[in-house]
Structure 1
Amino acid sequence: MIPEEGEDRLELDVYHTLLIGITQMFLGSYVFMLIDFRKPVQLWQRRWIVTAVMIVGSNLVGLLFFQFWKIYYRVAAMTVTFPYILVTLLCSRQRDFRAVFSIATGLFVGCTGTIAALLAEPFLGYDTYYTLVVRTIFFFLMAIVLRRFKTAYKKMLVQLDRGWGVLSIIPVVTFLLMLHIVTTIVPADYPTAMMMAVGLLAVCSSAYYLMYLFFEHIQKETAANNERDMLKLRLSALQSRTESVKAAEQAVRTERHDLRHRLQTVKELVDRGDRAAALDFLEAAQQRLETKKEIHWCRPPVLDAVFSSYFDQARRRGIHVDAKISLADTLPVDEGELAIVLANVLENAIHANMELSPEKREIGCKVMGSPSLMLEVVNPCAGTVLFDEQGLPVAKEQGHGMGVQSVAAFCAKYDAVYQFTQEEDGSFRLRLVL
């Protein structure tokens, strides 16, 4: 509690300004850590910081020069919290309950610092600056805790599409109840208010710990699934490559078996003086050997196997493939993760082609490794493709769309830019730039 009698008004205004300034600085840092900013990330981060500084700064000016403290607790929701929410929703990539959860989590963490300071007041003799130091120390400790929570949370923003509204109830309700306790119950009954606040913090903190365990479980399960998919992909690609090698070896054995007969034929043509026919005969034999030669699309072995596997699948199904692959030996991303993305995209393209008549089936694939990693896959498709608010195509059937989510997760991890579009001619196109 802050006793006002006998205190110099200017000193009290300075204290209130420091109190709100430090509190809002930490609250802003909490929200900043949890927000998944729009792209370009640095530009939207700067916009958020500038706007937040303007919002807080205007309130601090009122506290320092216009005795704003008397009404601050009643109007702070409109002068600070509500503008915070608006600018955060504007700058966030997710403009749904995920952004609400981030803001509410920052406010909840701020409540813990306020309650810690109130609990310390009886032991510090109600010295305002001592309690301010306690609040600042606790804010700093909570920032360290939140940094650990941030890594799991940011991954969940991509992996978990539903349920954020329910999760947001916990910090929102806690913040509102804490605000009521601090502004209404504390002045009337301090011991009861502190018991209520500590109990509420304990319940909400336990809920956050359970959420953290849930996030970690989901991420471990996702990592295990990705590893399983990678092993399946490697096995499938290895099988496809083995079949290609066996086919090429069989073709070479056949040509070697027929070589004696071919040489005899060429000898007869030369003996007759028909050199042109002999040369034509040898050229035809060479072309047959060229068609049997194994094709390598790039140097990285896993990607080469993926291209070979899915391009062979496409050709066997009557799909024309126009591929231009130019990749260096080393990649700026994990080869296995990029291979899974390509496998999902090419598989989706094959499935889309199978809904069309044979003469319309086609896949265009361009991959470049310089100056940056760029990928483009285009294929015709039947019907109109719908897109969600993140620009991702919406699956037509339940259980589909995992390939698209794989692309989104890959881009989120490596800060890549993706674009799904349906062209005027009806073709579906994916562009990815790292």
Structure 2
Amino acid sequence: MQDLISNSLRGSVTSIMNVLLLFTLAKSKYGIRSTLLIAVSFFIINVASTFWFYMFGDLTGLSRFNIVMFIVLGICLKPLSKTGVMQWSFNFLTTVNIMMMIIILSFHLGKLFPYPQYAHTLIRLFLYLLTLFSFQRYLLPFYNAFTNNWRIFSLLVICIFLNLGYYFYVTADIENTLLSAKWPLLLLVMLSLAAYGTVFYSLRRLTAMHALETEHLQNQHERTLLSQAAATMTERLQLMDKVAHEQSLVSHDRRHFNNIILELLQQGEIEEAITCLHRQNEIKTHPDTIYCENKAVNAVVSYYLVMAEQKGLLTNVRLAIPAQLPFDSLELALVVANLLENAIQGVSLLPEERRGLIKLSCHQVGRLLLEISNPCMETVTLGPDGFPYSVQEGHGIGTKSIAAFAAKHDAELLYRILDGQFSVRLLI
């Protein structure tokens, strides 16, 4: 009777843990409840089969039946898995390999303790739980890469299965085989564990190297993007300098114009003087406003505020940006240019009655805090990454440039849409 109880317990542990391990590797479509239901069903079948084979004293038949039943169960359970046929077969063979290694190890370790039949069961349970914990905590990401590359590793898994399975099927007495072939089996288990361990370690290293390469490419892409944007910004600043130079020439020539008007008035040419004044009034000039001490940012703000004024948009600017920054001022000027350009474009699309104020501010809070807000259309949304989403081709370049600047300088970038207001906060 004790043998029946110990065999039932040991078989039940194997059955339930195999199902849990299989669906840990393969992922069930229907969650943990269906997995537990399958495990309970497998437990009932196992108890019945254990009792049947015990009545005939055939432990070898019981061992073979359990493996065959698990193979049949594996075929029947495929529709419950999310994986493809080949990945499922790969996961199934891995589960069988682990099962055979645990059976071998628990059998020989159980001999070292009193009541080996119960020690065998407890050690088997411990090894299964340790395996499940290891996969859930550490190995599953690498095992998924292992499964996704099943074409490369399938021969290894099949060879391990054939070598271990040989001792379970080409025998008339499984217990005697496990005892007589103790060291070959233990060496085979060590070789199998070393093979799996080497694969997992290699995949871990390859995954780390791929992550580093991806990060390097991402950084290189960001540097390229910033470089291209900086070149564009340089051209804009050159154009602004040209406009400013022309404005200074106009201011410089104003004195000569005043002398001409004075001369015309002295000569009595009043009509001619009035005509000259009308022509002068048609020439729009903008005073050189100082928005902040930083020349690059000031030039950009001046340029875009003139653009906003020409479109009839209202602006409110308060900037406290020092002349010297711990990073390239041109990069910050580019960020401000993109923010203002996006704001002007966004507000310009609104009906006139909804065009509100474009607010731009920047001040020191230990770090530099740059904020801009403006009314926006209802169709403006944020993507899963928290950045503005646009399906139009060519749009979003400015947003990427701002994100690249934030990543380069470890800045905090936050976009928000609330009550029809689009706002951006950048803490550098």
TM class, shorter-chain normalised? 0.5 to 0.7
1:51, distance to aligned residue in structure 2 (A) = 5.0
Map 1:305-384 onto structure 2 (within 5 A).
Answer: 368-369=382-383
Matched, 1:79 2:69: yes
Contact 1:13 1:64 in 2 (8 A): yes
Q: Is 1:56 aligned to residue 46 of structure 2?
A: no
1:136-155 alignment runs, 5 A limit:
136-146=125-135, 147-155=137-145
Q: Indicate the residue corresponding to 2:210 in structure 1.
A: 222
| AA aligned opposite 2:102 | G
Which runs of no fewer than 5 residues in structure 2 stay unpaired?
259-272, 288-302, 312-330, 339-379, 394-428
1:195 pairs with one of 169, 183, 189: 183
Cα displacement (A) at 1:223: 1.9
Partner of 2:238: 250
Q: How many residues align?
A: 294
Identity of aligned residues (%): 12
Cα gap change, 1:369 to 1:104, in 2 (>3 Å) = same
1:46 equivalent to 2:37? Answer: no
Give 1:20 shift: 1.8
The alignment partner of 1:209 has SS state of helix
Residue in 1 that maps onto 2:225: 237
- Say if 2:15 and 2:43, in contact at 8 Å, map to a contact too: no
Q: How far does the alpha carbon of each residue in 1:50-108 deviate from its partner, in whole angstroms, 9 at most, with x for none?
A: 4532541341452477668865434434533332355356423x415443333322322
**For each residue in 1:305-329, what CA deviation from the matched residue of structure 2 results, as whole angstroms up to 9, or x when unmatched?**
8xx8xxxxxxxxxxxxxxxxxxxxx
State the secondary structure of the residue aligned to 1:252: helix
Closer, same or farther: CA 290–149 of 1 in aligned 2, 3 Å: farther
Unaligned runs of 5+ in 1: 1-7, 292-300, 309-365, 380-434
**Deviations for 1:197-249, whole angstroms, at most 9, x for unmatched residues?**
22321221221122122212211221221122122112212212211221221
Whole-angstrom distance in 2 between the partners of 1:188 and 1:161: 35
- Residue 111 of structure 1 corresponds to 100
Alpha carbons of 1:257 and 1:186: their partners in 2 closer, same or farther (altered >3 Å)? same
- CA separation in 2, counterparts of 1:270 and 1:99? 90
2:264 paired residue number: none
Structure 2 CA distance, aligned partners of 1:109 and 1:257? 79
C-alpha displacement of 1:22: 1.3
1:243 partner amino acid: A
Computing the radius of gyration from Cα coordinates, the structure with the larger value is 2
Change (3 A) 1:123 1:370: closer
Aligned with residue 128 of structure 1, among 117, 120, 135: 117
Q: 1:280 to 1:175 in 2, by over 3 A?
A: farther
Which of 224-233 and 102-111 deviates more?
102-111
* Distance in 2 between residues matched to 1:79 and 1:191, nearest whole Å: 24
Equivalence for 1:20: 11
Please show how residues 383-422 of structure 1 align to structure 2 within 5 Å. none
Contact conserved, 2:139 with 2:200, CA < 8 A, in 1?
yes
Structure 2 partner of 1:166: 155
